[in-house]
Structure 1
C-alpha cells in the first residue's frame, strides 16, 4: 500500500484527498495546510488521516512514499524539490513550476533518484480528451487544420498567476497530448484591467510546422462560463463542450475539397462535403480517479506517467513564451528546444 501525503487543502486539495482515499493501492496518510480550520475539516471528514501545519513533518516521515502538492505555483519548486530529495514520489498541480528552468531541475532530480513525477494536467485523463486522441491517432480526422478553444467565465481571479497559467494551460497540455509535434512559434495579446494584478484576458495563437494553427481565448471577465473546443481536419471535424452533460463530443463528417484543375479555372474550385454527425460513448469515470490509479501503476511498475515532468516542462515553456509575447504586444516568439520525449499511454 502506497502512503501519500497532501500539502495544501484549499481549492483543489479536497478533490485530491477524496479521490486518493478511494484509489486502490493508495492511502492518504497525512494532510498539511497552514490554516488550522481547514485541517479541522479534514479531521471531521477523514478521522484516520493525520494533519499538520508543518509540511516538514510530512516530508521527513519515512513511512510516507509520495507527496502531492496543491499549493500556489510559487511554492511548487521548493516543496517539490524537498519531497524528491527526501525520496518521495511527486504529484504536482499545474502549472508545474513558475519557470522552465525550475521544471528541468525537478525532472532531473526525479530521474536521478528514479522517482515518479506526475503533473496533474487533469484534462488528459478525461474520457472526452482520451476519445479525441484516439480519433486523431487513428487518422480519422485526416490532416489537422486547426484547434480553436474558448475558456471563459467570471473569475476565479488568481493572485499569483495570469489567466494564461490558469486556463490556457489546459489547452497547452491537451495539444501536447493530441499532436505528434510541438509549436514552432507563439503569439499572444492580453491585458489586466485592474492595475497590479495578473492579466485577466488573453488571446493566444500557436503555429506548427505542419500548417496546423491553434487559438485559445481565455478570460476571467465573461458573464457566462464556456468550455468549448473546435478541431478541424481534412476528413472530419470535432466539437467538444465540457459543460455538456451527456454528448460532450460530436464528430462531424464535414469538410471541403479543393481542385486546381485547369479545366475548372473559371468555376468554383471548392467542393463542400456534408455527412453524418455522431456522438461517441465516453468513459464517465472521474478524471482524478483515472489519474490516481495511473500514478499508483507508475510507482508500482516503474512506468513513465503520461503527464510526466517533461510534458509539464513543455507546458511551462509555452506559458513563458506566450507571456513574453503578450508583454511585447503580440510579437511572435519562436520556440526552440522543447523536448519531444513523451510518456507512456494511459492504460
Structure 2
C-alpha cells in the first residue's frame, strides 16, 4: 500500500501500516518530500515521492490511504479507484454528499474496497458497546446521550459540528442495528466569540425506532469530557473515554411501568412507576490501538473481498446527518428529514 499525506494524521497511518503483518508499506507521498523522509526515518526502505501519479502507475501498489485535506479526498480517491486501487480515506469521506455518493458507486462498480477511517469504531470500548447492543443485552434502545467538549483547536474553515460530531455520529452509526436509522436531525449552535461559525452545538437525532440521540460538541469548554450514555430497556451503559481503568460501566438499573398499557390517557395516574436498582459491572477490556485494528480490518476486507466495517456507505450516512444538521442550523433548529434536499 501507499500512504498519501505526511502531515498531522499521515505519520499515524504509516506507523500502523508498518506494524500490520498483512500490509507492506511501499510509498509515502507528500508534496514536501523532506517531511516524508523525516516521518520514515533514515533507515527506512519505504520510498518517498511527491508524485501521486507515480503511485497510481505502480502495479505493486494495491491500496492507497489518504491523509490529505478534505477538499482533495474526492479527486484523489476517484483517481485511485480508476487506477484499480483500494482506498482508505480519512474522515470526512468527501467535502460534499454528492461526491461521496459518486465514490461509493465507483468502488462498487469496480469491485474495490472503499473504507472510511472512523477510528473510534475500532477501540475496544466501542467494539464491546456494539456487542452489547447487537446481542440484545441492553434491550430495546431508549436513548443515546453523547458529550465531546474541551478547550480545543478552533478550526478556521469548518464549524464545531463538522469538526467534532463525526466521531460521535460514526460511533452511533456503528452501534445501531441495520433495522434502525436516523430519520431527522435538529441542530442548535452558538458563536459567542464571534468566530463566524458555531463554536458549540447541540444535535438531536430522531431514530426510526422512536428512540432519540443527543450530541453535544464544544470548542470552548475549560474541561475535557468524552462520554456516551446508551440507555436500553434492560440495562444502561456509560462510556467514559478518559477513564482508562474503567472505560465502560454497565448498570442494571432503570425505570419500569407497572399496570395496563391500554389504559385511557385520563387513567395514566393508575399506572405505577417502579425503579429497578441492580448491579453495576465494569467489563474488562483488552487495550489495543484503534488505528492498528482499523488497518487490519482494511487488509482483511481487501483479502476477503467484502465491505469494510466502516465502509464508504457508513461515511455517507455520517455525512448525510451533518448536511441535514447544517440545513437545520440555517432554519433556526427545525427538524430536517434526512435525504430531503433544500
Corresponding position of 2:144: 147
Within 1, Cα distance between the matches of 2:335 and 2:229?
Answer: 23
Unpaired segments of 5 or more residues in structure 1? 338-347
1:1-347 to 2 correspondences below 5 Å: 4-44=1-41, 47-180=44-177, 181-193=180-192, 197-261=196-260, 269-336=272-339
Contact 2:257 2:271 in 1 (8 A): no
Alignment CA distance shift 1:199-1:72 (3 Å) = farther
Within 1, Cα distance between the matches of 2:7 and 2:196?
Answer: 21
Contact 1:250 1:280 in 2 (8 A): yes
Within 1, Cα distance between the matches of 2:237 and 2:243?
Answer: 14
Within 2, Cα distance between the matches of 1:45 and 1:294?
Answer: 29
Aligned-residue offset at 1:163: 1.7
Aligned-residue offset at 1:194: 5.3
Q: More deviation in 236-245 or 328-337?
A: 328-337
Within 1, Cα distance between the matches of 2:147 and 2:268?
Answer: 38
Contact 1:5 1:30 in 2 (8 A): yes
Within 2, Cα distance between the matches of 1:255 and 1:155?
Answer: 35
Deviation digits for residues 77-110 of structure 1 (CA, Å, limit 9, x no counterpart) = 1111111111110000111111111111001111
Deviation digits for residues 218-249 of structure 1 (CA, Å, limit 9, x no counterpart) = 01111122110111111111100111112100
Contact 2:205 2:212 in 1 (8 A): yes
Alignment CA distance shift 1:249-1:30 (3 Å) = same
Within 2, Cα distance between the matches of 1:292 and 1:266?
Answer: 55
3-state SS of 1:26 partner: coil
Aligned-residue offset at 1:36: 4.2
Unpaired segments of 5 or more residues in structure 2? none
Within 1, Cα distance between the matches of 2:337 and 2:23?
Answer: 42
Contact 2:259 2:271 in 1 (8 A): no
Aligned-residue offset at 1:169: 0.7
Calculate the aligned-residue CA RMSD, in Å: 1.9
Contact 2:320 2:339 in 1 (8 A): no
Q: TM-score, normalised by structure 1?
A: 0.91
Q: More deviation in 268-277 or 250-259?
A: 268-277
Corresponding position of 1:341: none
Contact 2:259 2:270 in 1 (8 A): no
Aligned-residue offset at 1:60: 2.6
Aligned-residue offset at 1:56: 2.5
